[in-house]
C-alpha cells in the first residue's frame, strides 16, 4: 500500500533541509505520520492540538530559519492551522504545511472529516498544491516529486513563507505490521541558488545625489532578526555621518549605540511646532512592522520629502504613506555601501542631537518616575525582569500590553535576541511559538505574556516534549488590560464584561498539571527574591506568575504618560 512517492515526500523534505516535523494524530494522515516519524534525518514530534502544533512548528522555523513541516488529518483539523499560517505568512517564516484529505469524489457526500481543502488557506500561503490521489503512473510520480521540490524552493525564496500541500489518500492508510519502508536516497531533488542583488554605479550616484541635497536623514527599522553585519554597518554610518536611527524593541538593534529606542514616548506631545522640528527630509526604512503607534502616526502626518524602503523581494507596504523609492537589496549591504559613499556629506548635526537629547530626557523622566512610585504594577515588574535577563538568552514577547510595556522599558543587554508574533499581532500562539523556539536551541527562552493570552494558548504545554529551557512570565491582572489603556473601550460601560473580560484563574494548577516549577509574587520584594531562582538553568521549565491590580496598572500608566509629557510644557 505504501507507494514510493509518499515515502519520497519525507525524503525530499530531508534533502531540502527539513530537520523537524510536528505531526498531529489522525487516521487519514497516517501515511504522512509514519513516513516522517520513521525518517532517520527528521526529528518528529507529536502534538495533538493542531493550532498549537502549527505555532510550535513556526517557532522552530523561526529560530532555525529552515523549512519546518507540520502535518495533520483532514477536516477541521486543517482549519486549526490557520492562525499560525497567517502569522508565518506575514512574518516570512518557511512552513511546509501538509494536510491529508479524502479522495475528491467523496467531497460533499456526507462523509466524515471532509471539507473543501483545495486552496484552504487562500492568500495566506505563497502557493497551494494538490497532490494527485492516483500516483501509480510514472508521470504522476514525477509530478509529486517535482511538486515537493517546487514547494520547498518557494518557501525558501525571499521573502520566506508558508506553502500548502494537500495530500488525498484512499484506504488502507496503514502498512502491514512487518512491512519495511525504504527511503530512496537517490531521488531526484531540484535545488536552487539565489543571487545577491547589488546596485550599479549609476544607481548609487542617483541615491547619493538625493542624499547630498538633504540635511535631516532618519532611518526607521521594522521587526528584524538580529544581524551583526547590519548592526556594524549602521554603527559605521552613524559614526561617520551622525544619522538618526530609530528602532523599537522588536528590531533587535539594541546593541547599536545612540539608537532612538523610545519614539512612542518622545512623540507624545501634540504641539505642531515641536513635531515640525523632527520632520525628516529623507526617510530610509527597512524590516517589517513597528510597535510604536505614535511613530507611525507622526511619519504619516509629517511626511518626508524622500522615502526609500530597502527590501530584497516580495510585496512592499507603504506604511508611512510616503514611499517613493524601493531598493531591492539587503539592508546590511545598503548601509555599508551608503556609509562609504556618503562620507564627507555635511548633515544637520543639530537634528541628530535633538533626537538624542530627547531620548536621554525621556529616559531620565522614565527613571525618575519609578523612583517616586510605591505601587507594584505590570510595567515595573517587566522593567525589573528585563534588567536582569541572562546573557545570550532569547526573549519572547506576547502581544497586547506585554510587547508594548517591554517597548517602553527597552532592552540594554546586547547579547539578547527578541521575538514576537507581530506579523498579525494575535494573542493565540505566543506560548506555542516560544515552546517551538525552545525546542530548537539549548539557550534559555523567556516568554513574557499576559494572563488572557497565556490561558488562551494553554495547550502549548499539552504534549510530551516540554522544553526544560523555557521560562514563562505570566502577567496576571485578571483580564485584558490593553482595553483599559487605549482610547475608546476604556470609556464604555461594556469595557469590563465584553472587552477586558475579567477572569479569576491563576497559572498554579496549569504548572502542576504539566509539571513546571511554579513561582508567584504580589510585590516588588517577592519578585526580586524569585528572579534568581527563576532564571537558573537547572533543567526544569518554570512559570513565574506576577499578580497586579488592573486598575492600578491603568492609573500608573496614564500618570507615566503625563509625567513624560510634562517635560514639553512651557
**What residue spans define the domains of the chain?**
4-168, 201-359, 373-565
Average pLDDT over residues 98-103: 94
**pLDDT at residue 381, as a whole number:** 96
Which CA distances in Å does 173 have to 105, 169, 291?
Answer: 17, 7, 47
Q: How many other C-beta atoms are found inside a 10 Å radius of the C-beta of residue 388?
A: 12
Q: Where residue 567 falls among pLDDT bands split at 50, 70, 90?
A: low
Q: Please state, rounded to an integer, the average pLDDT across all residues of the chain.
A: 93
Q: What is the pTM of this model?
A: 0.95
**CA–CA distance, 52 with 55 (Å, rounded to integer):** 5
The answer for 553, left when phi > 0, alpha when psi is -120 to 50, beta otherwise, is alpha
Q: Where residue 2 falls among pLDDT bands split at 50, 70, 90?
A: low
Q: In the chain, how many H helices and how many E strands?
A: 21, 17
Q: Where residue 171 falls among pLDDT bands split at 50, 70, 90?
A: confident
**CA–CA distance, 392 with 282 (Å, rounded to integer):** 35
Do the beta carbons of residue 97 and residue 70 sit within 8 Å? yes
pLDDT greater than 50 at residue 425: yes
Do the beta carbons of residue 161 and residue 155 sit within 8 Å? yes
pLDDT greater than 80 at residue 26: yes
* Fold type of domain 4-168: Rossmann fold (3.40.50)
pLDDT greater than 70 at residue 268: yes
**pLDDT at residue 239, as a whole number:** 87
**CA–CA distance, 322 with 222 (Å, rounded to integer):** 16
**pLDDT at residue 570, as a whole number:** 46
**pLDDT at residue 374, as a whole number:** 78
Which three-class secondary structure state does DSSP give residue 559?
helix
CATH number for the domain whose boundaries are 201-359: 3.40.50.1220
Q: How long is the chain?
A: 570
Tens-place pLDDT, residues 105-120: 888 788 888 889 999 9
Do the domains spanning 4-168 and 373-565 agree at the CATH topology level? Answer: yes
Do the beta carbons of residue 373 and residue 556 sit within 8 Å? yes
**pLDDT at residue 568, as a whole number:** 58
* Fold type of domain 373-565: Rossmann fold (3.40.50)
**pLDDT at residue 407, as a whole number:** 94
Nearest-5° Cα angle at 102, 129 to 178: 100
Tens-place pLDDT, residues 354-366: 999 999 999 999 8
pLDDT greater than 60 at residue 177: yes
pLDDT greater than 90 at residue 185: yes
Amino acid at each position: 500500500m505504501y507507494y514510493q512517492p509518499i515515502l519520497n515526500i519525507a525524503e525530499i523534505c530531508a534533502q531540502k533541509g527539513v530537520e523537524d516535523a510536528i505531526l498531529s494524530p489522525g487516521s487519514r494522515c497516517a501515511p504522512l505520520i509514519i513516513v516522517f516519524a520513521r525518517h532517520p534525518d527528521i526529528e518528529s514530534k507529536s502534538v495533538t492540538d493542531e493550532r498549537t502544533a502549527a505555532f510550535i512548528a513556526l517557532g522552530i522555523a523561526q529560530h532555525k530559519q529552515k523549512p519546518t513541516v507540520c502535518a495533520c488529518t483532514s477536516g477541521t483539523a486543517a482549519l486549526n492551522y490557520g492562525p499560525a499560517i497567517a502569522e508565518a505568512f506575514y512574518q516570512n517564516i518557511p512552513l511546509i504545511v501538509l494536510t491529508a484529505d479524502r479522495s475528491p469524489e467523496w467531497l460533499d457526500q456526507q462523509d466524515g472529516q471532509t471539507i473543501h481543502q483545495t486552496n484552504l488557506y487562500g492568500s495566506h500561503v505563497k502557493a497551494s498544491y494538490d497532490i494527485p490521489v492516483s500516483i501509480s503512473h510514472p508521470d504522476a510520480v514525477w509530478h509529486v516529486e517535482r511538486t515537493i521540490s517546487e514547494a520547498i524552493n518557494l518557501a525558501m525564496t525571499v521573502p520566506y513563507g508558508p506553502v500548502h500541500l494537500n495530500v488525498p489518500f484512499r484506504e488502507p492508510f496503514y502498512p502491514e505490521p512487518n512491512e519495511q519502508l525504504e527511503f530512496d536516497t537517490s531521488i531526484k531533488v531540484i535545488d536552487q541558488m539565489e543571487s545577491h542583488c547589488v546596485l550599479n554605479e549609476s544607481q548609487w550616484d542617483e541615491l547619493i545625489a538625493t542624499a547630498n541635497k538633504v540635511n535631516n536623514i532618519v532611518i526607521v527599522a521594522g521587526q528584524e532578526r538580529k544581524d551583526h553585519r547590519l548592526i556594524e554597518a549602521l554603527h559605521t554610518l552613524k559614526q561617520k555621518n551622525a544619522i538618526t536611527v530609530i528602532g523599537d524593541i522588536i528590531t533587535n538593534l539594541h546593541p547599536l549605540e545612540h539608537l532612538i529606542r523610545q519614539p512612542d514616548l518622545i512623540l507624545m506631545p501634540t504641539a505642531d511646532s515641536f513635531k515640525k522640528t523632527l520632520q525628516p527630509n529623507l526617510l530610509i526604512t527597512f524590516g517589517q512592522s513597528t510597535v510604536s503607534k505614535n511613530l507611525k502616526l507622526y511619519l504619516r502626518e509629517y511626511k518626508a520629502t524622500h522615502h526609500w524602503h530597502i527590501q530584497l523581494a516580495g510585496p512592499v507596504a507603504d506604511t508611512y504613506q510616503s514611499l517613493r523609492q524601493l531598493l531591492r537589496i539587503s539592508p546590511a549591504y545598503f548601509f555599508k555601501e551608503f556609509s562609504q559613499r556618503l562620507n564627507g556629506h555635511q548633515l544637520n548635526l543639530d537634528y541628530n542631537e535633538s533626537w538624542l537629547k530627547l531620548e536621554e530626557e525621556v529616559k531620565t523622566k522614565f527613571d525618575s518616575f519609578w523612583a517616586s512610585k510605591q505601587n507594584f504594577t505590570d510595567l515595573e515588574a517587566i522593567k525589573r525582569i528585563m534588567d536582569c535577563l541572562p546573557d545570550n538568552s532569547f526573549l519572547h514577547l506576547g502581544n497586547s500590553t506585554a510587547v508594548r510595556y517591554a517597548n517602553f522599558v527597552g532592552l540594554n543587554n546586547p547579547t539578547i535576541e527578541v521575538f514576537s508574533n507581530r506579523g498579525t499581532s494575535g494573542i493565540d500562539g505566543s506560548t506555542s511559538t516560544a515552546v517551538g523556539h525552545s525546542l530548537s536551541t539549548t539557550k534559555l527562552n523567556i516568554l513574557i505574556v499576559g494572563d488572557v493570552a497565556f490561558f488562551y494558548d494553554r495547550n502549548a504545554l499539552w504534549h510530551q516534549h516540554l522544553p526544560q529551557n523555557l521560562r514563562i512570565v505570566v502577567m496576571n491582572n485578571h483580564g485584558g488590560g490593553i482595553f483599559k489603556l487605549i482610547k475608546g473601550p476604556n470609556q464604555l460601560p461594556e469595557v469590563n464584561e465584553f472587552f477586558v473580560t475579567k477572569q479569576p484563574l491563576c497559572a498554579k494548577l496549569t504548572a502542576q498539571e504539566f509539571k513546571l516549577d511554579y513561582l508567584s509574587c504580589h510585590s516588588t520584594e517577592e519578585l526580586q527574591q524569585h528572579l534568581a531562582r527563576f532564571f537558573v538553568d537547572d533543567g526544569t521549565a518554570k512559570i513565574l506568575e506576577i499578580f497586579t491590580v488592573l486598575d492600578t496598572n491603568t492609573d500608573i500608566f496614564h500618570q507615566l504618560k503625563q509625567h513624560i509629557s510634562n517635560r514639553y510644557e512651557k
